[in-house]
Amino acid sequence: MITRFAPSPTGHLHIGGARTALFNYLLARRENGRFVLRIEDTDAQRSRPEYTESILGAMEWLGLSWDGEPVFQRARADLHRQRAQWLLDQGRAYWCHCRPEDIEASRQRALAEGGKPRYDGRCRDLGLGPAPGGVIRFKGPLDGQVGWTDLIKGPIVFEASELDDLVILRSDGLPTYNMAVVVDDADMGITDVLRGDDHVNNTPRQILLYQALGAPLPNFGHLPMILGSDKARLSKRHGATSVMAYREMGYLPQALVNYLARLGWSHGDQEIFGLAEMEGLFGLRNVGRSAAVFNPEKLDWLNAHYIKETPPGALGGLLAPFLAARGLAVPGPEVLAKIAATLRERSKTLAEMAAKAEFYLVGLPAIDPASAKKLLTAEGKGILARWREALAVPPGDHGGFEGLLRGLSADLAAKPGAVAQPLRLALTGSTASPGLFEVIDVLGPEAVARRIAAAIALEP
RNA sequence: GUCCCCAUCGUCUAGUCUGGUCCAGGACACAGGCCUUUCACGCCUGCAACACCGGUUCAAAUCCGGUUGGGGACGCCA
């Protein structure tokens, strides 16, 4: 089995493309086959090398390793031209001199009359030769049926009469999509073509091309689309759609891969899957047939799960760039790990974690005014003074911080919460934070003393 | 408009092929509770769906037909 992922370098790798790549990867790995990459750069206008780099980078980040070197379609244009010429020689293709404007006009007419906008085949039997601005069209059958058994959707049949004579070689000498895909898939020995639902309508044309070229047909499988919350095709207006954007927002590749896999594929009730595990479990029979709505909340949940699962040391390393992006001084690995450990169970993304880590890394935290009014009263400052006193003694000497809190609570005849909150506010600037004693540990004695003093000195 | 595809909780889905074990299971989200130095985490509980109509059958979420709804395609883009 040989599968492939064939993105066009006209943009970054998006969510839908990533899922297509993932399923192709999984299918090949499951069957001990090959998974190859082909860059479809035949659109000279829109293809950009930096997008190729970006797509490759995104694939690597996701862990979707491909076999061999990526194939660039443009480098194969000679082969495409050669096959187009062969089709011409066989009488399965013809030169067309129609002007694009005329064709467009007839399409509009057809649409206005309630029909399908198609090329009318007026050059089909004219026996024209090459000409500047001319194109080569495939001479398709006028009747009969074209069908296949889709790997995912089952039997699909089209009437040949629904199909018009598609352009296979453009006037610039480059092949069109359908031609290039068929020639390359056949030439590269692709056995299973797994791609987006939006290609279902191309498939009968491609089958006809395979047959005319005398090439064996691969299996075709069409994956349902990914939709936005309004059930329209996922697009920019639904928020981030590129894989790299998710990376920048602080999502872990494991989370994205896991989420994308579950969007359309299932294995009983299981929700959590690692890539390696899926390589053993994946199967097309468990891929759904209906379109799926992209649900950011569930991605968040998975991301939180993988963040919690990442050891603090590694997590600290992942967090560092997000800290730097906020303009914060990045501490050493040890402190980073400690910080990560305290935030691990309270962050959905690395970006959120960095925001929550900010108070650790500034000289003095910004105290929330509303909370200050409530907690830094004369009484609250009194409690802070007691804390300052108690914390001056090494914690081991009085049964740890927990014992300290209990002791103070008993002394002041106040609930532990009431005793803890002023200190939390002084240390973190907020009434919600990681565990107080973890914060004290990360901050160290000097910073703790400085923050308490600053809070006590704070004007009402 | 024409053609193609799809249809289970708000969302992702199990169950559909091989009809009964499903007054439909899991997960996210949401609500309530427990835990608790705050916020979280975790745990428990709850809310919530077989699009509709007809047929086949002793029996239909599961099979068949239709309707409705949604998506996709209709380029010298891919």
CATH assignment of the domain containing A260: 3.40.50.620
Positions on chain B within 7 A of a protein C-beta? 1-8, 10-15, 25-29, 36-42, 70-78
Query: Do both A99 and A213 map to the same domain?
Result: yes
Measuring CA to CA, which residue among A3, A390, A410 is closest to residue A220? A3
User: 0.90 cut: is pTM over it?
Assistant: yes
Q: Are A256 and A246 in contact (CB under 8 A)?
A: yes
A15 CA to B77 C1' distance (Å) = 19
- Contact, A326 vs A358, CB < 8 A? yes
Gap between the Cα atoms of A354 and A92, Å rounded: 62
CA–C1' distance A168–B7 (Å)?
Answer: 36
Task: For A130, list phi and psi in degrees, rounded to 5.
Answer: -60, 145
A187 touches strand B (CB under 7 A): no
Residue A192 lies in a domain: yes
Give how many domains chain A has, as a whole number: 4
Instruction: Please identify, among A174, A189, A223, the residue that sits at the C-terminal boundary of a domain.
Output: A223
Decide if A304 is inside a domain.
no
- Domain for residue A342, yes or no? yes
Q: Judge if the beta carbon of A144 is closer than 7 A to nucleic acid strand B.
A: no
CA separation (Å) from A150 to A155, A198, A200, A213, A284?
6, 14, 9, 21, 11
Which nucleotide is at minimal CA–C1' distance from A107? B74
Active site residue A236: yes
Counting every residue written for chain A, the total comes to: 460
Structural domain span for residue A355: 310-361
CA A433, CA A153: separation in Å to the nearest integer? 50
Q: Which residue is nearest to nucleotide B27 (CA to C1')?
A: A271
Task: Copy the structure tokens of residue A307.
Answer: 């963040």
Half-sphere exposure (CA, 13 Å, Cβ side) for A85?
9
The per-residue pLDDT string of chain A (460 residues; one tens digit each, 9 = 90 and over) reads 999 999 999 999 999 999 999 999 999 999 999 999 999 998 888 999 999 999 999 999 999 999 999 999 999 999 999 999 999 999 999 999 999 888 988 888 888 877 788 898 889 999 999 999 999 999 999 999 999 999 999 999 999 999 999 999 999 999 999 999 999 999 999 999 999 999 999 999 999 999 999 999 999 999 999 999 888 888 888 878 899 999 999 999 999 999 999 999 999 999 999 999 999 999 999 999 999 999 999 999 999 999 999 999 999 999 999 999 999 999 999 999 999 999 999 999 999 999 999 999 999 999 999 999 999 999 999 999 999 998 887 766 556 788 888 888 889 888 999 999 999 999 999 999 999 999 999 999 999 999 999 999 988 7
Name residue, tokens 């068929």: A182
Residue A301 is assigned to a structural domain of this protein = no
Annotated active-site residue in A116, A139, A153, A236: A236
| Residue A224 DSSP label | P
